[in-house]
Amino acid sequence: MSGAQPPVIVWFRRNLRLCDNVALARAVETGAPLLPLFIDDEREEGAWPLGAASRWWLHQSLEALAKELELRGSRLIVQRGAARDVLLALRRQCGARRVFYQRRYEPAAQKMELRLADDLAEADIEIEACAGSTLFLPEQIQNGSGKPYQVFTAFWKTCLKIGIDTELAPAPTTLSAPEKWPASLDIGELSLLPKIDWARGMSASWQPGECGAQRALEHFVREAVGRYEEGRDRPDQSLTSRLSPHLHFGELSPRQVAAALQGYGGGGAASFLREVGWREFARHSLCHFPHLDQRPLRPAFARFPWLEDAVGLAAWQRGQTGYPLVDAGMRQLWHTGWMHNRVRMVAASFLLKDLLVDWRHGAEWFWDTLVDADLANNSLGWQWVAGCGADAAPFFRIFNPVSQGEKFDANGDYVRRWVPELAQLPAKYIHAPWRAPAPVLRAAHIELGANYPEPIIDHAFARDRALAALAKTKS
């Protein structure tokens, strides 16, 4: 290899795409051969190793990325171990002295990046941390006092005032390869897939990878964005984007979403861009408050009298609470790795406020079962419902699972799909089957307590109990 130009490393992390990949574009600009690299480093995930659903997605996404690289004359090198050790070894093997990567904002990943910068500088390796997972750098958005925002509306207003950069870095058509490739693991050797195939529902529901992300974005903009504002809360309709896992794994950048929405009038595009802004707010919040995944942002809630209810938690996880909208959401989650956002709020409210189960138990379950399990979104979302986080809904806002179902799934189509034992129940009773007269239940082949559970708790009682618990917290 003497005389050959040493390669530069493009370290793929949560940016598993070629289009609008700033780290990749910067590496291409050097004119050097490229060594695309993925490192399986458990230290990067810290206390939150990937859940089962996310591991399944990552396997598919890495395979898709590898195919796209091969089409451009390159390949994906896969290695396992501490990022420091892997990069130092590639320095010795290939002479690679420059590394380009996309920044992450999870606490463990940030700590690892800081240590890595020092370690690699000692080895004469230049690293460049690039933007790409957010629309704005966290240090860029501050309130008038120079501190991070804790209210979303003010945060987003500042973002829009600055303006979103929608100039995208194009995907390269060809990539220069090194003269000799280092050894690589097969993606299958990472053991990301489940040993027992429980992922068929996810396989039927998703197309992981950059091509799948582009198709999903194009479909949403073409078919649904115009009706998004009025239809986003309807789980019985397909009017949400389902882009969250693609954004989480970086198969799609938030700038690509913003660029795709340009030129679309009406409230739908602005309303959806606001949801992208909420994702941005979550990342900035986790960056500024790195304990967000473990401790309530509002200190008073450290005294909240949560209950240990293993039976109730298990019923909630299995979709056997006796409240059809909650059960439908939890079953959709188990089958597809995803749940409609309106139903997420109702299901979370039921766990926290009807059962008084600590929000961290809910966050852990979502982390393992969601294909879009994102530490920033998951932490902020659960704290929002619990009333203890940034821009949180007040704790006394307690969703009624019956009236929420009647309002947003009026005909019961969503419930019938995911709770098939209730499929023959008339819409009048679909969200409260215990109110149905005995002849109606018999005609629908429902025996409460046998083939569908009675409600595990009375909502009116639970609401009063939750408000009493809140009063204790304030006292």
Active site amino acids? 275, 278, 306, 341, 359, 382
Nearest CA-CA partner of 62 in 286, 250, 315, 297: 250
CA 157/CA 417 separation, integer angstroms: 39
Nearest CA-CA partner of 35 in 77, 82, 86, 68: 77
Label residue 449 left, alpha or beta by phi (over 0 means left) and psi (-120 to 50 means alpha).
Answer: left
Decide: helix, strand or coil at residue 12: strand
Packing angle of the helix pair 267-288, 254-261 (nearest 10 deg): 160
Cα 126 from chain centroid (whole Å): 31
Whether the CA torsion 141, 146, 150, 153 is positive or negative: it is negative
Q: 75 CB contacts (<8 Å, ≥6 apart)? A: 36, 66, 69, 177, 181, 184
Q: 163 CB contacts (<8 Å, ≥6 apart)? A: none
Bridge partners (DSSP) listed for residue 128: 100
**Cross-sheet strand order for the sheet of 8-12:** 77-80, 34-40, 8-12, 98-102, 126-130
